[in-house]
Structure 1
C-alpha cells in the first residue's frame, strides 16, 4: 500500500492495524489509513507536490506536518 509509511518505529513500536480508506486526489485513486490525515496519506503515496504558489509558480507541499500552516491544511 505504501512505499513511505513507517509501520515499525524504533521508539514508538509497531503501529496497530487500521482499515484502508480509498480517496481520489488530482485524478488517480489512492489508499490511506483510517484516522490518518490527508497529508500523511498523500506523503505515504508518494505525492510531494500539493499545489503551486499563485504568483511565482513555485512548488508547495507539506511543510510542518502538524496542521498549523496553510500548506498542511
Structure 2
C-alpha cells in the first residue's frame, strides 16, 4: 500500500497539505465537505501536487516538512 502526501489548492487560492493511502477517495471526501475542517469552508479544492511513499511514517515526516514551508516555497516545489 502506498501513502501519499498531497497539496490541494482551495477555492480561495490557499494551499492545504495532507496525507492519505487512498488519494482519489480523499479528494472526493474533501470536495463533499467530509474532509478536513480547513477545506470545508474553501470548496471546491483541486489536487495540484503529490508525492508517494511506502510507509505512513515517511509520508508523515514529509507532510511535516512541507507544512513548515512558506507559500512561496510550496509553489516552487509544485512548479
**TM beyond 0.5:** no
Higher helix share: 2
- Higher CA-based Rg: 1
TM-score normalized by the length of structure 2: 0.29
TM-score normalized by the length of structure 1: 0.30
RCO greater where, 1 or 2, for CA within 8 Å and sep 6 or more? 2
